[in-house]
Chains A and B, each alone.
Chain A
Amino acid sequence: MNKCSGHEELDILEERRQSGDLSHALRTFSPQPYKEKPPCSASDLSKRTLESQYLQYVFKESSLSMEEVKEDARLLLEEMSQNLQLGFIRLMGYTLSKVFKRLYTNIYVNMEGLNMLQQAIQESPVILMPTHRSYIDFLIISYVLFTYDIPVPVIAAGLPLAGMKLVGEILRRSGAFFIRRSIGSDKLYWAVLSEYVKTIVRTGFAPLEFFVEGLRSRTLKSVPPKLGMMHMVLEPYFKGEVFDITLVPISISYDRVLEESLLAHELLGIPKPKETTKGLFKATKVLQEDYGCMHVNFGQPLSVRELCQGKINRSQYNLTPRQVLSPDVQACVIWLAHLIVRIQEEGSYISPWSLMACVLLQCPTSTLTERGMVWSELKDRTLWLKKLALRFGAHLRWPEQVSDQNVLLSMVALHHSIVAHKGDRVCLVREEVPIRKHRLSAEEEVNRTAVAMLMLASYRNQSLHIFLRPAMLATVIQVTKSTQRDELFTFFCFLKEILSNEFIFVPGKSTQDFEEACFLMKDCGAILFSPEEVTVTEAGQEVVSFLCAFIQPFIRSYQVMLDFLTEHEIKNISEKEFHLAVRSFVVKLILSGTTENDIIIPICELQTYEALSSDIQKNVLSALRTLGVLTKFRGSKNNEYQVDKAAVKRINDILCKSLLELEKIFTHSLLLTS
């Protein structure tokens, strides 16, 4: 049992290790369902969907004949629908018991959250909203709920999963329903999907689970939420078809993520393997490894009714048939979706390893790849950071009754794929070079390092939400050299706008974000502030330096890409071209910065490998689109953009100026630490 901030955490694997998996799988399962759930089978659900007023209305609007369009809809439903069966839940339970025990040392679940969920499920339709960092996320919730006699959910999944032989069908019968990846403008598909989802919510057939982030995060940081599904699940409340809907954010945290290297490769442009059953079996070799702990944190159930009070006027649906009308509720949906992701972030647990990754990333890459970082320094910095993280309110899973030294050593051992202990130093582990190859090109060398660096960066990202806001404030303080709150706030907002695709900010809450940053910085003694002024304390310099360096790779990457656009006089560019060109531009910069004697790197060259990540590149594109720098060509197939050069320059100038300041500090702090 693990006590964390006063709440009871149960290791569900402990019991599995003591009693048989078969009896677990065959346990009596008689959960308390939603009180108004009508007797309704999976096939009734499809039938109700097809007969719904909304679909009848859509059918009539269609250009096809009634028969044809009905048949089309029926086929879509067939492809989509789940077929939840207890037998398959049991089968899944049995298999997962075996798999989890092999992969993880512990799976902690907060019992308080489970108890609240159990209550909530009886009261109103429940939407389970877990984070998505690994394929494991997919069935863990069902597994936990099955274990604790709570109704198992139906789960929104990507259609490719359905295509997996046998496995697709097993998933379907375990409650998965399948959604096409790109729906585009297929009106009928949208209609059938949304009616199916809404029917599940309206009837309270089962808790509905979906990943609000839409897809697995490749970087282990939160992904900006997708709104389509969110809209669908909320609409029954907006339209008064249910009294309330309960949202349950769930944070699933991993010490070590199963697909860590796969993700890093993907970020470097190596495509993700197609989901196939064969691939799944091939992947069984990853089952030989140890992945440490997993943490499933069920958040406080949130009432949509309470959340939307004053934000949604339900009577706007009064004057038109509800199946016809869809007024603009986007702002509320966006807000809610972001809020959920923020709550997921707050609820996630970070491991000592994530803090170590933060520290390691602030060491020059060349040092890491060659000599390595001095162990005692890594340890001291990590322990210092631990204090700061706790101060900032992190849920830190730091094993008790073990010495700090051993905690950190065990982390290095767990993450042997990224770092290795050599003498009194820790250095980066790079992929083995295939024996056949004699010599790697300089670019391939960069890629080798990049894989490890991006993995490291991903683990740093696990604690991103802890430090992000203070780090932005620290940056702003350093860049503006101002002590005026107004000025700081203005630049804070500018930074936030640029980074709003990179990180999750609840829309319209800039002031709160800024206040929060100020509060945290003050709380740890780094700054003093009055209504007008913010000043860094003597003792706060260390915190400020750390925080600036923490966020620096992001800002630097953005700047590099803006540089690229400025330098290359590009007028039009497609998304694909952008990725390729930026990648080679970045590799060049990295190579030019690599010097033989570990001399401190000049400012103009690049110290971060993160600019190689396709994720950050994508985010830059989105940010530039939002800022009006890039305009998408209408109807272009390859997502071509037009570049507004003046705007690029303007933004880059501001960022550049800030970067100059940041680099100075960063260099300074590196000098201190190495």
Chain B
Amino acid sequence: MAANSSSDRQRAAQQRLQIIAGHLQRPTNYQPDITAAECKAQEGNPNVSNEERTVPRRRQDIMKWNGWGYSDSRFLFNKKGQAEFTGKRYRLSGMIIPGLKDWMEGTFGASLQHKAPATPILNSTAVQPATINEAFVEEVKATTIPFSVEAEDRVFRAHGHCLHEIFALREGKIGRVPDMVVWPSCHSDVVKIVELASKHNVCLIPYGGGTSVSSALECPPEETRSIVSLDTSQMNRILWIDEKNLTAHVEAGIVGQDLERLLNESGYCTGHEPDSMEFSSLGGWVATRASGMKKNIYGNIEDLVVHVKMVTPRGVIEKSCQGPRMSTGPDVHHFIMGSEGTLGVVTEVTLKIRPMPEYQKYGSVVFPNFEQGVACLREVAKQRCAPASIRLMDNEQFKFGHALKPQVSSIFTSFLDGLKKFYITKFKGFDPNRLCVATLLFEGDHEKVLQHEKQVYDIAAKFGGLAAGEDNGQRGYMLTFVIAYLRDLGMEYYVIGESFETSVPWDRVLDICRNVKARIIRECKDKGVQFPPLSTCRVTQTYDAGACVYFYFAFNYRGLSDPIHVSEQVEHAAREEILANGGSLSHHHGVGKLRKEWMRETVSDVGLGMLKSVKDYVDPNNIFGNRNLL
């Protein structure tokens, strides 16, 4: 019996392992490819990788040009007025979500009768004609590096995923876009392009996954030179794996899901899983100081990077060895990490890798209120026993998560749900309008995971937390991947929203959550928003000395003449509130152009001067002219 149950558990574990992998559809004709290969561009066969990798050169073939993610996956209200998620890629795909309509109507005052549809196809005439630097183009042609001046390609690379960027696309409004897109296939291609750009004074904007939420990819409207978008997506190979040192050397254009999948084939992983990992690229992570969901085990990008190669107008910067730590003056990697494409292009990265975990287990805990939840997370951090991931959602998000429960197939499950609800609210006396939930993900040895799990649940119990099952936890993480799709659905019905993050010392967590949420609500009211906004937050990472907090806000914009302006004002005010409450300018989204007005107060005059002097030395002619950060 015991053996039986343990094999059951293993089977369950296997299933669970599919979960993360499950939303990443595996290419059918996949061949392992973990050898150091020659630069394919030189072989004149640039299309090979497109079949094996997620991101083709023509991204618009599989992804939305004016929304998030894959073209085949989206939320919609079917003929019965029920929400469903299309496609086959995700766990939620093809499912009915019965609670979503009521939640949207109740939370935002939205109505299915009031639609705000997007412009269906890109009108090429709305796109400014390309400013071509003929001499540069001629020389690029000579290198055989593929490039394009087509409107669709250029528009796709003119934006990230800030609300105002997507909203403008939906309205068919196109601002300044790159004049040309190039697809280097390897480091030496990049070296050539940067040399040519310097020679002909062309502005280069590196483009990785395009998931920026800091206006980092926006072309500076005042830029008069030809702007060339350097799309790294074709530099996507793992060049080697070093099993002795547990490192892998990877081209920087690889996107998260490909990197993880390829490493998994060899039994390894990086464990770096930012919420955008389906689309965001390794180079982008390095350039923005990214953070992954499971950083408690694997670390953030700065902990993972062993070696970086970056091509700048001054030449290539890299370290001479792979020593795990060095005392050689300020770490030059830290000029690269977070440089946000202002200094050069990251082309190759050596990363730490780990053997794939034997066992993964989700979990969740319900707390009577947010205060108790935060106190529990603080204690977990204090005891340094945080699971791979631990996230605390506030009451509004708890309700939101509930609304996204797919239709339950059996009466028994729904009966069980009712019973659980009764137990928590009636028997335990939790107020449904105050309770909140923490989602957990444990990873590691089977034994250790179970031990670890017990330890965390014991701490939670001290703060009034009740274990609420694996399913709730799992759904919490799944939401992470579909929430961006939901914003597109909202926009169809006059609801716009944005998210932003910060990091803050522990003693400030509750205060900052309360004050920022309240500020959002007050600002919306002051700016004439007709309906109360959704203003919600979650604590997504714990550290020794503080936490990362993520805020979401969304509102129904009917009746507003310039909703995007209002939304930007609200976000601006919320960021002011964050800074006034001891929060940081950004935990992992970066600064871009959206937040650079606060850089001076964030790093001091001298700090900013230091960064500027680096820029002046490395790129005196501002070839990397995206004007982020500084």
| Contact pattern, A 154-196, Cβ under 8 Å of B = 1, otherwise 0 | 0000000000000000000000000000000000000000000
> Does residue B133 face the partner (Cβ distance < 8 Å to A)?
no
> Quick check: is A314 within 8 A (CB to CB) of the other chain?
yes
Which segment, of A11-19, A238-246, A553-561, A633-641, faces chain B?
A238-246
- The residues of A that contact B512 with a CB separation of less than 8 Å are 240
With A and B bound together, what is the CA distance between A53 and B506 in angstroms? 13
- Contact check, A314 vs B507: say whether CB atoms are below 8 A apart: no
Contact (A244, B518) CB under 8 Å given A321-B507, A322-B507: yes
Q: Is residue B580 contacting chain A, with contact meaning CB distance below 8 A?
A: yes
- Tell me the bound Cα distance from A241 to B581 in angstroms: 9
* A441 CB–B CB distance under 8 Å: no
Please encode chain B, from 581 to 604, with 1 for each CB lying within 8 Å of some chain A CB and 0 for all others: 110000000000000000000000
Q: With an 8 A cutoff between CB atoms, is A403 at the interface? A: no
Q: How far is the CA of A242 from the CA of B515 in the complex (A)?
A: 7
Q: How far is the CA of A242 from the CA of B577 in the complex (A)?
A: 12
Mark interface residues in A8-36 (1 if CB within 8 Å of B CB, else 0). 00000000000000000000000000001
CB-contact partner of B582 in A53, A243, A317, under 8 A: A317
Within 8 Å CB of A318, what residues of B?
582
Contacts of A243 in B (CB 8 A): 514-515, 518-519
Bound-state CA distance A321–B508 (Å) is 10
How far is the CB of B465 from the nearest CB of chain A, in Å? 18
How far does the Cβ of B432 sit from chain A's closest Cβ, in whole Å?
16
**B581 / chain A contacts, CB cutoff of 8 Å:** 240, 314-315
Which of A241, A244, A318 has most chain B Cβ within 10 Å?
A: A318
Q: Mark A295-324, 1 if CB is under 8 A from B, else 0.
A: 000000000000000000111011001100
Q: CB distance B580 to A240 under 8 Å?
A: yes
Q: Is the interface of A mostly helix, strand, loop or mixed?
A: loop
Contacts of A321 in B (CB 8 A): 507
Question: Does B519 contact A315, Cβ atoms closer than 8 Å?
Answer: no
Q: Which residues of B contact A36 (CB under 8 A)?
A: 514
How far apart are A497's CB and chain B's nearest CB, in angstroms? 35
Q: Is the CB of A315 within 8 A of B511?
A: no
Is A315 a contact partner of B508 (Cβ separation < 8 A)?
A: no
**By the criterion CB–CB under 8 Å, are B582 and A241 in contact?**
no
Q: Which residue of A lies closest to B519 (CB)?
A: A243
Specify which of A242, A244, A315, A321 lies most central, judged by the most chain B CB atoms within 10 Å of its CB.
A315
Main secondary structure of the interface of B (DSSP, over half): helix
Q: In chain A, what residue has the closest Cβ to B584? A: A318
B503-558 interface (Cβ within 8 A of A): 507-508, 511-512, 514-515, 518-519
User: Which chain B residue lies CB-closest to A236?
Assistant: B511
Bound-state Cα–Cα, A36 to B511, Å: 13
Contact between B518 and A240 (Cβ–Cβ < 8 Å)? no
Contact residues in A for B511 (Cβ distance below 8 Å): 239-241
- 1/0 contact string of A547-585 vs chain B (CB within 8 Å): 000000000000000000000000000000000000000
Minimum C-beta distance from A53 to chain B (A): 8
Contact B508 A240 (CB under 8 A): yes
Range of interface residues on chain B? 10 to 19
The answer to whether B515 and A315 have CB atoms under 8 Å apart is: no
> How many angstroms between the C-alpha atoms of A317 and B582 in the bound complex?
8
Instruction: Tell me whether B579 is interfacial, beta carbon within 8 Å.
Output: yes
CA distance A165 to B508 in the complex (A): 44
A159 to B57, CA, bound (A): 79
Task: State how many angstroms separate the Cβ of A195 from the closest Cβ of chain B.
Answer: 16
Bound together, the chains give a CA A519 to CA B507 distance in angstroms of 51
Measured CA separation A381–B65 after assembly (Å): 82
Q: How many residues of A contact B (CB 8 A)?
A: 15
Residue of A nearest to B371 (CB): A38
Contacts of B507 on A, CB cut-off 8 Å?
53, 321-322
Chain B 413-442 per-residue mask, 1 if CB under 8 angstroms from chain A, else 0: 000000000000000000000000000000
User: How distant is the Cα of A347 from the Cα of B514 in the complex, in angstroms?
Assistant: 34
User: In the assembly, what is the distance between CA of A665 and CA of B549, in Å?
Assistant: 70
Contacts of B312-326 to chain A: CB distance below 8 A: none
Which chain A residues in 215-269 approach chain B with CB under 8 Å?
239-244
CB proximity to B under 8 Å, residues A313-338: 313-315, 317-318, 321-322
When distances are taken between beta carbons in the complex, the residues of chain B under 8 Å from A241 are 511
- CB pair B518–A315 under 8 Å, yes or no, is no
A592 to B533 Cα, complex, angstroms: 76
**Min C-beta distance of B65 to chain A, whole Å:** 40
Say how far B69's CB is from chain A's closest CB, in angstroms: 35
Contact B514 A315 (CB under 8 A): no
Inter-subunit contact A314/B518 (CB<8 Å): no
Instruction: Tell me which residues across on chain B come within 8 A of A314, comparing CB atoms.
Output: 580-581
Min CB distance B585 to A, Å, is: 12
User: Closest residue of chain A to B579, judged by CB?
Assistant: A315
B130 to chain A, nearest CB (A): 45
Q: How far is the CB of A192 from chain B (nearest CB, A)?
A: 21
List chain B residues, Cβ under 8 A from A313.
580
Considering only CB atoms, which chain B residue lies closest to A243 in the complex? B518
Q: How far is the CA of A53 from the CA of B514 in the complex (A)?
A: 19
Chain B min CB distance to A36 (Å): 8
Contact B519 A240 (CB under 8 A): no
Cα A472 to Cα B579 with chains together (Å): 45
Give the CA-CA distance A242 to B511 in the complex, in Å.
7
Complex-state Cα separation, A244 to B511, whole angstroms: 11
Q: In the complex, what residues of B have CB within 8 A of residue A317's CB?
A: 582
Instruction: Output the nearest chain B residue to A322 by Cβ-Cβ distance.
Output: B507
- Assess A240 versus B579: contact at CB under 8 Å? Given A321-B507, A322-B507: no
Q: Which residues in A have their C-beta under 8 angstroms from that of B579?
A: 315
- Cα distance A152–B511 in the bound complex, in angstroms: 26
Residue-wise interface mask of B (556-583) relative to A, using a CB-CB cutoff of 8 A (1 in contact, 0 not): 0000000000000000000000011110
- The winner among B507, B579, B581 for most chain A CB atoms within 10 A is B581
Chain B: which residue is nearest A313 at the CB level? B580
Residue ID in chain B nearest A239 by CB atoms: B511
**Distance from B72 Cβ to chain A, minimum over Cβ atoms (Å):** 43
Q: Which chain B residue lies CB-closest to A321? A: B507
Tell me the minimal C-beta distance from B382 to chain A in angstroms: 15
A36 to B518, CA, bound (A): 11
Q: How far is the CA of A458 from the CA of B629 in the complex (A)?
A: 64
Q: Using CB atoms, name the residue of chain A closest to B516.
A: A243
Q: Which residues from chain B contact A315 at a C-beta distance below 8 Å?
A: 579-582
With both chains docked as a complex, state the minimum distance between the C-beta of A126 and any C-beta of chain B, in angstroms.
15
Looking at the assembled complex, report how far the CB atom of B348 sits from the nearest CB atom of chain A, in whole angstroms.
39
In the bound complex, what is the Cα–Cα distance between A239 and B507 (angstroms)?
A: 11
Which A residues lie within 8 Å of B514 (CB)? 36, 242-243
Name the CB-closest residue of B to A202: B511
Within 132-156 of B, Cβ neighbours of A (below 8 Å) are at none
Distance between A235 CB and nearest chain B CB, rounded to angstroms: 13
Q: Give A36 to B433 CA distance when docked, in angstroms.
A: 12
Least distance between B494 CB and chain A CB atoms (Å): 27
Most chain B beta-carbon contacts within 10 A, residue among A239, A243, A321: A243
Residues on the A chain within 8 Å of B518, using CB? 243-244
B145 to chain A, nearest CB (A): 48
Hey, which chain A residues are within 8 Å of B582, CB to CB?
Answer: 240, 315, 317-318
Bound form: Cα–Cα A244–B515 in Å? 8
Bound-state CA distance A36–B510 (Å) is: 13
Assembly CA distance A583 to B508 (angstroms): 57
B residues in contact with A322, CB < 8 Å: 507
Give B521's nearest chain A residue, CB to CB: A243
Within the complex, the shortest CB–CB distance from A32 to chain B, in Å, comes to 15
A53 to B510, CA, bound (A): 15
Q: How far is the CB of A314 from chain B (nearest CB, A)?
A: 4
Complex: A243 Cα to B581 Cα, angstroms: 10
New contact pairs (18) apart from A315-B582, A318-B582, A322-B507, CB-CB < 8 Å: A36-B514, A240-B508, A240-B511, A240-B515, A240-B580, A241-B511, A242-B514, A243-B514, A243-B515, A243-B519, A244-B518, A313-B580, A314-B580, A315-B579, A315-B580, A315-B581, A317-B582, A321-B507
12 A-B contacts (beta carbon < 8 Å): A53-B507, A239-B511, A240-B508, A240-B512, A240-B515, A240-B581, A243-B518, A313-B580, A314-B581, A315-B579, A315-B581, A321-B507
The 7 closest A-B pairs by CB, nearest first: A243-B518, A314-B580, A318-B582, A240-B581, A240-B511, A243-B515, A315-B580
